[in-house]
Structure 1
Amino acid sequence: MADDNQSFLGAVWETIKTIFWALVIAGIFRTLFFQPFWIPSSSMKDTLLVGDFLFVNKMAYGYSHASCPNIKLARFGVDIDAADICGFLDGDNTRVLGSEPERGDVVVFRHPVTHQDYIKRVVGLPGDTVQMKDGILHLNGEAVTVEDGGTFTEVKEPQGPEGRYPRCSNDPVGEGGSCAKQRQIETLPNGVQHSMLNIRDGLDLDDTKIFTVPEGEYFFVGDNRDNSTDSRVAQTSFGVGFVAYENLIGRADRIMFSSGGRSMLFFWTWRGDRYFKSID
Structure 2
Amino acid sequence: MNWDLATILVLLVIASGLIWLYDVVYLVPRRVKLKTNLSIHATEAERQEANRIPFIVDLARSLFPVFLIVLVLRSFLVEPFRIPSGSMMPTLLVGDFILVNKFSYGIRLPVLNLKVINIGEPKRGDVVVFRYPEDPAIPFIKRVIGLPGDQLEYHYANKMLYINGEPIVQQSEGRYVGVGQGSSMTGSEQRLEHLPGAEHAILVNLDQQISGIRRWEIPNNHYFVLGDNRDNSKDSRVWGFVPEENLIGKAFFIWMNWDFQNTGISWHRIGTTIR
- Per the normalisation by structure 2, the TM-score is 0.75
> 1:29 aligned to 2:50?
no
Letter in 2 for 1:108: V
Contact 2:177 2:183 in 1 (8 A): no
Determine the structure 2 residue equivalent to 1:228.
Answer: 233
**Which of the pair is proportionally richer in helix?**
2
- Across the two proteins, how many residue pairs are aligned to each other? 228
Contact 1:109 1:248 in 2 (8 A): yes
Mapping of residues 41-190 of structure 1, within 5 Å: 41-64=85-108, 68=110, 85-86=111-112, 89=114, 96-115=117-136, 116-133=138-155, 134-155=158-179, 159=181, 167-168=184-185, 179-190=186-197
Matched residue SS, 2:123 = coil
Contact 1:131 1:207 in 2 (8 A): no
Determine the structure 2 residue equivalent to 1:82.
Answer: none
Letter in 2 for 1:126: P
Matched residue SS, 1:153 = coil
Please give the alpha-carbon distance, in whole angstroms, between the structure 2 residues aligned to 1:223 and 1:207.
20
Deviation at 1:43, TM superposition (A): 0.5
Please give the alpha-carbon distance, in whole angstroms, between the structure 1 residues aligned to 2:134 and 2:127.
21
RMSD of aligned C-alpha atoms?
A: 2.5
Matched residue SS, 2:62 = helix
Counterpart of 1:18 (choices 52, 62, 81) is: 62
Identity of aligned residues (%): 36
Deviation at 1:49, TM superposition (A): 0.4
- Which of the pair has the greater relative contact order for Cα pairs under 8 Å at 6+ separation? 1
User: Which of structures 1 and 2 has the bigger CA Rg?
Assistant: 2
Letter in 2 for 1:181: S
Structure 1 unaligned regions, length at least 5: 69-84, 160-164, 169-178, 234-238
Matched residue SS, 1:180 = coil
Contact 1:121 1:222 in 2 (8 A): yes
Please give the alpha-carbon distance, in whole angstroms, between the structure 2 residues aligned to 1:278 and 1:33.
17
Determine the structure 1 residue equivalent to 2:82.
Answer: 38
Contact 1:135 1:201 in 2 (8 A): no
Deviation at 1:201, TM superposition (A): 4.6
Please give the alpha-carbon distance, in whole angstroms, between the structure 2 residues aligned to 1:23 and 1:38.
22
- Per the normalisation by structure 1, the TM-score is 0.73
